[in-house]
Structure 1
Amino acid sequence: MSFGNSIKQKREAMALSRYQLAKSIHTTVTQVAIWESGRKYPNIKQLIMISDELRLTLDELIKGDPSFQKKIMIDKNNHDADIIVRFSIILEVILFVVGLLLIFHFA
């Protein structure tokens, strides 16, 4: 079952309105509607609050939705790439500074 359907069914089973869910997880009714429609997914902080409020495990929310799993993997890969880029920039700066120091030391 998709993420959106999971939260909608659980919310309705608990007799919660979108407004009540939104208020309890510090977001808007519109945002809850967007998640339920499957157009977007919550961030990790919101996901944990949804899990707690609806008494669903993160597995129940994520594993039933291959699109959500794919988004998480893409986000993870982008984060990993960002770390590599940052590391390489730092390394380049260090090598540049060391090169300058060597040039001035032997000049």
Structure 2
Amino acid sequence: MVGNISSILGGIQVTIGEKLKKCRANTAFTQADIAEKLHLSRKTISGWETGRNYPDIGSLIKLSEIYKVSLEDLVRDERMLEHFDEQKKSRGRESSILKISYWINVVFLMLEIIEVMRINGFHFTLIPLILTINLIVFLSHFDGWNRFKSTFYVVKVLLVLTAVFIVASVVSVLNPDVVSALAIQDASAVSGVMLARMVSAMLLTISIVVVIFFRNPRE
């Protein structure tokens, strides 16, 4: 049965942290008890109760069930609502960065393929650098790592990564720069060009894997 939190607090307006502390005390649970029920650390529960941080909505739902109080009463705190509003804005910004970065990756992946194959003599040395920086930005903001908990999904990624790297390596080795270096028969020139081509092949591989497996399913 869901109770009224006002009766627990005596009608006094308090913060979400104080509410959580009062409700826990009212049910005779310790912080360790709540931490165990939510599969969290006691330090996390302490942080909520002292106002250092806030629980997410999933945790609040579970807490309302444990304490048998209304979820609406539990979250009725201006600072808590401001926190959720800021979280929503932050997720929106992260989503925008990911979306823009993903499509920048698509564009520069195509340009890198054209550059590697020297189609119509196209060559722009900054493409690999821009692609690398963008991949770092994308992966640092990516929040969909849960999908990689599936063994089947990871195996698919590894198989595609291996196949793409083999193809990219072959294409990179057939690059005109490599052919020219071999014609000169200069060992240092060949080594330098081959290293650059292998780095390019790895960059292409990562970029293609990102395009295939890292796209936001909601887009």
**TM-score tier after normalising by the smaller chain length:** 0.7 to 0.9
Instruction: Map 1:66-77 onto structure 2 (within 5 A).
Output: 66-77=78-89
TM-score (norm 1): 0.74
Residue 95 of structure 1 deviates from its aligned partner by 4.4
From 9, 23, 33, the equivalent of 1:20 is 33
Residue 36 of structure 1 deviates from its aligned partner by 1.0
Give the fraction of aligned pairs with identical amino acids, expressed as a percent: 21
Residue 78 of structure 1 deviates from its aligned partner by 1.0
* Number of the residue aligned with 2:54: 41
* Distance (whole Å) between structure 2 residues aligned to residue 55 and residue 71 of structure 1: 24
- Runs of 5+ unmatched residues, structure 2: 1-13, 123-219
**1:69-106 deviations in Å (ceiling 9; x for gaps):** 111111111111111122222333444538x87xx58x
From 44, 68, 75, the equivalent of 1:55 is 68
Provide the aligned length of Structure 1 versus Structure 2.
105
* Distance (whole Å) between structure 2 residues aligned to residue 92 and residue 22 of structure 1: 42
- Runs of 5+ unmatched residues, structure 1: none
**1:44-76 deviations in Å (ceiling 9; x for gaps):** 33222212211223322222x211211111111
* Number of the residue aligned with 1:2: 15
Residue 32 of structure 1 deviates from its aligned partner by 1.8
Q: Return the index of the structure with the highest Cα Rg.
A: 2
Q: Which moved more, 1:49-58 or 1:73-82?
A: 49-58
TM-score (norm 2): 0.41
Amino acid paired to 1:10: C
* Distance (whole Å) between structure 2 residues aligned to residue 92 and residue 80 of structure 1: 18
1:93–1:57 CA distance, 2 compared to 1 (3 A): same
* Distance (whole Å) between structure 1 residues aligned to residue 59 and residue 18 of structure 2: 17
**Aligned residues: CA RMSD:** 2.7
* Distance (whole Å) between structure 2 residues aligned to residue 20 and residue 93 of structure 1: 47
* Distance (whole Å) between structure 2 residues aligned to residue 84 and residue 5 of structure 1: 35
Residue 35 of structure 1 deviates from its aligned partner by 1.2
* Distance (whole Å) between structure 1 residues aligned to residue 101 and residue 33 of structure 2: 46
* Number of the residue aligned with 2:4: none
Residue 11 of structure 1 deviates from its aligned partner by 1.4
* Number of the residue aligned with 1:78: 90
**1:11-49 deviations in Å (ceiling 9; x for gaps):** 112222222222222223332222111111123332222
